[in-house]
Amino acid sequence: MPTAAHATVAPFTNSARLPLRPPTQDSIGDPYYPQLGNGGYDVQHYALELAVDVEHNVITSTATIAARATADLRAFNLDLLGLSVDRVAVNAAPVSVQRTEHELTITPMAALHAGQPFTTTVAYHGTPEPFVSEAAPISVGWTQYDGGIYVASEPEGASTWYPVNDHPLDKATYSMRVTVPKPYVVAANGLLQQTIDNGATTTYVWATAHPLASYLVTVDIARYKVETATGPNGLPIRNYFPAEIADQAHAVFAPTADMIAYFSSVFGPYPFEAYGVAVIDKNLGFAMETQTMSVFGRDAATQPPNQAEDVVAHELAHQWFGDSVSLDTWQDIWLNESFATYAAWLWSEHELGPGSADHIARRTYMQLAQMNLPPTGDPPPTDLFNTGVYERGALVLHALRLTIGDEAFFRTLRTYAARFRDGNASTPDFVAVAEQVSGQNLDAFFDNWLYGAKLPPLPPS
């Protein structure tokens, strides 16, 4: 169910690449995780209203979901885990509802017809429960910790806290009204539209101007100190730091505006209305590129700034690759992680001078050549975020740069980012752009680098 921004290009075929399955009512057709997402409709906008008891981790919520049917529907599904559903309506009319562990099946009084817009309202409450993802041994979803709440959902945690079509193919815009007790502060995606003083509570109203994938939606609640700055072309930058580490965090994220300016020069204009970070006052062991508001843990924000630059650059680069241009299927994860990893190498080259990225690539190649890694384009579904996707994937991009030359390589990145902006793309889409821009047939190159069991030799510098 691609959005209108998705373009169709000539297919790139490889036996290791699994096809997108035909969507069904309870599956959007992802070959790795068929339980994620649902077919038959395309969400346009989520309006989420949440009252949050932060201390007891209880939410009372209403989700209003504006969608368009893409097929005739007698019933349709939303992904939702746990939580108690109080009432559901479609176009303000009552409906029949059935629940399974992961699915909310809704049967309207009258069938929906292909092309018909419709609005679903779900009122619900309860304690969201994060869980360990099938894709990696980390907990995903709405998570309470000592001091607040954060949301990091890749790939399937969004359904822990709201009813959703939980797959990147169905991107939508969001508005969120989140009410919390004072003195808690709420950070979320997009721009803060309004802050409403209710006496004992505060309501924070956030909204996005661009569509985003459900796993990139975040709500972060803590006693934050808010720092604002201005990036290139007046871009708002807003950072949410725990007060006691605010000075350390400021130093870590100080290069952000310069990074945005540099990446804009090589990837094309920054694709969103704002950027910033929310720092969780807990060691996370990961960072997350939640759209316009990346999430970092205390462990990242208290490093020496020079040691943190790679991860700061990595999550920022995802705003172009992964967020603005989102993947078609989770097998395409290299289009997110390899690109962000290589972007951090490019930032080092920008800071340290020509040859720095090549030096990092050749040092990395020597390390990876001794390892038995899964192919970059065919990661195991139970180990999606492995070194073959990150560092070996960055080597794919460096080898492509050496093969087609700097001018064609950077024009490929800019063309790809512009062509699929606010939409979705696949490996064949990227291959087609690289071939179009370079004028070369690159099928054998990508076959070897993405799907070959053995690491191919790096081209000479």
Coil, helix or strand for 315? helix
- Say whether pLDDT at 210 is over 80: yes
Tens-place pLDDT, residues 214-263: 999 999 999 999 999 999 999 999 999 999 999 999 999 999 999 999 99
pLDDT score at 75: 97
Pairing assessment for the beta strands 224-230 and 219-222 based on DSSP bridges: unpaired
* pLDDT confidence bin for 12, thresholds 50/70/90: low
What pTM was estimated for this model as a whole? 0.95
Tens-place pLDDT, residues 307-347: 999 999 999 999 999 999 999 999 999 999 999 999 999 99
Give the burial class of 279: count Cβ atoms within 10 A of its Cβ; 0-12 exposed, 13-18 middle, 19 or more buried.
buried
Give the burial class of 236: count Cβ atoms within 10 A of its Cβ; 0-12 exposed, 13-18 middle, 19 or more buried.
middle
Mean pLDDT calculated for residue range 434-457: 97
Question: CA 212 to CA 359: how far, in whole Å?
Answer: 35
Mean pLDDT calculated for residue range 108-124: 97
Question: CA 29 to CA 295: how far, in whole Å?
Answer: 29
Mean pLDDT calculated for residue range 98-125: 96
Tens-place pLDDT, residues 416-442: 999 999 999 999 999 999 999 999 999
* pLDDT confidence bin for 10, thresholds 50/70/90: very low
Question: CA 80 to CA 138: how far, in whole Å?
Answer: 19
Tens-place pLDDT, residues 145-162: 999 999 999 999 999 999
Q: How many angstroms separate the Cα of 460 from the Cα of each of 61, 362, 391, 398?
A: 57, 10, 19, 11
Question: CA 330 to CA 341: how far, in whole Å?
Answer: 17
Helix, strand, coil shares of the chain, percent, nearest 5, are 30, 30, 40
pLDDT score at 19: 77
Tens-place pLDDT, residues 349-395: 999 999 999 999 999 999 999 999 999 999 999 999 999 999 999 99
Give the burial class of 95: count Cβ atoms within 10 A of its Cβ; 0-12 exposed, 13-18 middle, 19 or more buried.
middle
Q: Which residues contact 48 (CB under 8 A, 6 or more apart)?
A: 61, 62, 63, 64, 162, 174, 175, 176, 177, 178
* pLDDT confidence bin for 7, thresholds 50/70/90: very low
pLDDT score at 9: 37
Question: CA 402 to CA 305: how far, in whole Å?
Answer: 31
| Residue 182 per-residue DSSP state | T
pLDDT score at 186: 98
Please, what sign has the CA dihedral across residues 294, 295, 296, 298?
positive
Q: Which two tokens stand for residue 430?
A: 């990227």
Mean pLDDT calculated for residue range 170-179: 98
Pairing assessment for the beta strands 224-230 and 191-197 based on DSSP bridges: unpaired
- Say whether pLDDT at 1 is over 60: no
- Say whether pLDDT at 4 is over 80: no
Rg (CA), the chain: 22
| β-pair partners for 207 | 175, 191
Give the burial class of 227: count Cβ atoms within 10 A of its Cβ; 0-12 exposed, 13-18 middle, 19 or more buried.
middle
Tens-place pLDDT, residues 21-72: 889 999 999 999 999 999 999 999 999 999 999 999 999 999 999 999 999 9
* pLDDT confidence bin for 5, thresholds 50/70/90: very low
